Structures are given as C-alpha cells and as structure tokens.
Amino acid sequence: MARNKHPEKTIEFILETSKKLFLTVGYENTTIQDILNHLEGLSKGAIYHHFKSKEAIFEALSMKEAQKNSEIFLKIKNDKNMNGAQKLKEIIKFNISSENTKNIIKLCPNFLENPKFLSDQFKQMNEIIVPNFIYPIIEEGIKDGSITTDKPHELSESIMLFINIWINPLIYNDSIEKISNKLEMINGFLQKYNLVLFDEQMKTDLLKLKKSNL
C-alpha cells in the first residue's frame, strides 16, 4: 500500500466532512459509515488510522473550534486599551456570541448523556482557559483596580463554572425565563467583585444561543 504523503489533508477532509454531517443531522444520528459514505476515495481503515472512533472525531473537532476561540482570547488578553474587568467581559462576550461557540453547541451531544464529553469540558476549562486567560486577566484587574478580590483563583473558577456549566444549554435544558434569572443572579454575585459580566446585549446573545439549540 502506498504511503499517504499528506496525512494532514486526509485528517482535515475527515474532520470537515464529519462536521458537516454533525451540523446537518446531529452527532447522535451520524455513524462512522455515514461519514465514510461522504468520503470519496477513503476506506474505513483510513478513517480508523487517524481516529479510533466517532467520539475521537468529535473531540478533534471540538479542540479545533476551541483553538480558534483561544486565538481571539489571546488578542483580548494582550489588548493594552482595556483594563482587566473590560477584558474579562470581552472574553465572556466573545465566548457566548462567536460562530465557533455556536458551532460547538450545534456539534455537541447532550453532555449529561455523554459524560466523557462533560469531563473533557472540565479538563479544557481547568487546564487551558482558567490558567491561561481568566486568572491572569483577573490578576491584571486587581492590579489596575477594576476587579476587587483577594481570591483570584476561586473567582476565576467560579466564573467558568457559571459560564460553562450552570448556563450551558448542553447541560441544563432551562427555559428562557430561567436563563434570564440565572444571568441576574450571576451579575448579583459578581457585583461584590466590581464585575457585571452580562449586559442586555450579552443576555440577548445567550438567549439566541439557547433558542438555536431547541
């Protein structure tokens, strides 16, 4: 068998084809055979050479979308024209309203029925997002006076738990009214630290995200 001289192109072909199917018919309704049927010229063996399962394909897609978000987070983190509180709000705003996030929501199965994906979410949150972005920005906010706390680690984790767990439509199938109530409670909690993360536009964007997942 001839060696594949461009495995990265094969991987990208598999991922993009899978992404289209996941977005069109849903993750749960897509099988490896469905993916294979749309991969002209590739065998099932070629898929399994790069991905051991449909779950592995999803994980790679999720990481790819998350990487796009991280690139934007880095630009926000390094912006010299914003203070810490403004940067934190901008990151949360982008995380909610970006096309990458919308794609992830559409791609994902229900996390409660797929605990491994929920575990991956926690891992990404604790190992990438909090230490590389949220915590350093809160530390910056403490220094510039825009954020008031003597527990930056705990505040960083709390904010991520609110955003990625408590108001996540893949975990809580809340009504629009309940989501609005949660956002008011989050804002009330964060006022103690001189933070108000959810303005009316961000509330609207989050509710649109919820509606798109109905």
Closest to 135 in 3D by CA, of 93, 167, 97, 91: 91
**pLDDT per residue over 120-155, tens digit each?**
778 888 888 999 999 999 999 999 999 999 999 999
Q: What is the mean pLDDT of residues 31-49?
A: 88
Is residue 184's pLDDT more than 70?
Answer: yes
Q: What is the pTM of this model?
A: 0.80
CA 99-187-102 angle, 5° bins: 10
Identify the structural domains of the chain with CATH numbers, from first to last.
1-52 (1.10.10), 63-212 (1.10.357)
**pLDDT per residue over 49-95, tens digit each?**
999 999 899 888 888 877 888 899 999 999 999 999 999 999 998 88
The encoded tokens of residue 198 equal 């959810």
